[in-house]
Amino acid sequence: MGKISQGILGGFSGKVGNVIGASWKGIDYMRIKPSSVANPRTPGQLDQRSKFATVLRFLQPMTDFLRVGFRLYAIKMTQFNNAMSYNLNNAVTGMYPNFMIDYANALVSRGNLTGAFNASASSPAAGSVEINWVDNSGSGSALATDRALIVLLNTQRQEAMFTTQGPARSVGSETISVPAEYSGEDVEAFLGFISEDGTRVANSVYLGSVTVA
């Protein structure tokens, strides 16, 4: 039952039908009680939840990296939420319940800075992964001083190794140390760039799956 505390023109607290009255920081407000969902496990809902869980598993290990990689898209939502939205719409493949991430269409950094050119990843020595790219400074908006953004995702362990302060674009390579226990396991490699002043970010490029030496 609802209670009127300040006369007929005042606010009320409690419930009247499907209207709920309450007060927050001295402000009276009313809201409509949401309708109950008759079947919260419809095929469409299960499909969407499964896709969401797939993208969440992909992105969670690199949460801190995404704060940089999606920094320009944190408009009315967090960087992580924007990364979730983008990858839900662009990087999920398969059919329920066997959804997977299409890494070639996934992004871990996003923006209009000119991206990497002719990049690759390999593991020539134990405990390390080497990223190489061709210096394309002067092409489009690419500058020699842009810094590399690198992610190595170990999906087996749900862990990510990454750097948001990699070498300059002009350097052309970087070696990332990985734990010794990664030997024989695969990591998914991504490369992007960020301008020296942090105002521009490039779409990441998927470099493939690398078996750690």
Q: Is residue 1 part of a domain?
A: no
Lowest mean pLDDT of 25-29, 73-77, 161-165, 173-177, name the range.
25-29
Residue 200, pLDDT > 80, answer: yes
What does the pLDDT read at residue 7?
A: 47
Distances (CA, A) of 157 to 8, 64, 68, 164, 209: 61, 17, 23, 21, 15
Whole-number Å distance between alpha carbons of 164 and 87: 20
- Summarised one tens digit per residue, pLDDT across range 137-175 is 999 999 999 999 999 999 999 999 999 999 999 999 999
* Nearest CA among 18, 10, 14, 12 for reference residue 1: 14
Taking residues 65-80, what's their average pLDDT? 94
Number of domains in the chain: 1
Annotate the chain with three-state secondary structure: CCEECCCCCCCEEEEECCEEEEEECCEEEEEECCCCCCCCCCHHHHHHHHHHHHHHHHHHHHHHHHHHHCHHHCCCCCHHHHHHHHHHHHCEECCCCCCEECHHHCCCCCCEECCCEEEEEECCCCCEEEEEEECCCCCCCCCCCCEEEEEEEECCCCEEEEECCCCEHHHCEEEEECCHHHCCCEEEEEEEEECCCCCCEECCEEEEEEECC
Domain that residue 73 falls in: 43-211
Q: The pTM is what?
A: 0.81
Instruction: Extract the tokens encoding 187.
Output: 């990591």
| pLDDT-derived band at 76, boundaries 50, 70, 90 | confident
In a domain, 206, yes or no: yes
* Residue-level pLDDT at 26: 59
Residue 4 has pLDDT above 50, yes or no: no
Q: Is residue 29 in some structural domain?
A: no
pLDDT of residue 3: 45
Average pLDDT over residues 40-47: 81
Percent of the chain residues past pLDDT 90, beyond the cut: 76
CATH number at residue 125: 2.60.40.10
Residue 24 lies in a domain: no
Please provide the average confidence, as pLDDT, over all residues in the chain: 89
